[in-house]
Structure 1
Amino acid sequence: MRPWIRKNSLSGPKLRSEMDAHEASVLRSLVASVLGMLEDRAGQAPQDDLAQLTGLRTGNATPPDIPAVRRLLPDFHRPDPDAATNADDESADLNGAMRSLHEPSIIDAKLAAGAMILRTVPESGGRVVLTPEQAEAWLYGLNDVRLALGATLDIDDDTPETLDDDDPRAPHLDVYHWLTWVQDSLVQALQP
Structure 2
Amino acid sequence: MSPFTRRGGDLTASFERAEADILAQLATDVQALLSDADGVDPDSPSFRAINRLLPAAYRDGGENDAEFHRFTSEGLIERKARNAQAVVDVFAAGDESGKAVRVRLDAAAAQSWLRCLTDIRLTIAAGLGIEHDDDELRIDGPDRSVLEVYAWVGYVQESLLHALEAHVV
Q: What residue ranges of structure 2 are gaps of 5+ in the alignment?
A: none
Residue type of the alignment partner of 2:108 = E
Name the TM-score, length of structure 2 as normaliser: 0.86
Bigger Rg over Cα: 1
- Whether 1:133 aligns to 2:108 is yes
Residues 123 and 94 of structure 1: is their aligned pair in 2 closer, same or farther, counting only changes over 3 Å? farther
Report what 1:50 is aligned to: none
1:40-69 alpha-carbon deviations (Å, 9 max, x no partner): 226x5xxxxxxxxxxxxxxxxxx9731111
C-alpha contact 1:163 1:169 (8 A) present in aligned 2: yes
Q: Which has the higher contact order (CA 8 A, sep 6+)?
A: 2
TM-score, length-normalised on structure 1?
0.76
Over the matched positions of the two proteins, sequence identity in percent amounts to 29
Cα distance, 1:72 vs structure 2:
0.5
Q: Does structure 2 retain, via aligned residues, the 8 Å contact 1:25–1:123?
A: no
- 1:190–1:128 distance in 2 versus 1, CA, 3 Å: same
1:162 and 1:182, CA in 2 relative to 1: closer, same or farther beyond 3 A?
farther
Structure 1: segments with no counterpart, 5+ residues = 45-62, 80-90
Does residue 30 (structure 1) correspond to residue 26 (structure 2)? The answer is yes
The structure whose residues are more often helix, as a share, is: 2
Q: Is the 8 A contact 1:15 1:130 kept in 2?
A: yes
| Residues 108-154 of structure 1: CA deviation (Å, up to 9, x unaligned) | 11011001000112374510001011000000011000000100111
Aligned equivalent of 2:6: 6
Deviation at 1:156, TM superposition (A): 2.5
1:54 aligns with none
Q: How many residues align?
A: 156
The 8 Å contact of residues 4 and 16 in structure 1, kept in 2 or not, is answered as yes
CA-atom RMSD, angstroms? 1.9
Which of structure 1's runs of 4+ aligned residues deviate more than 4 A?
none
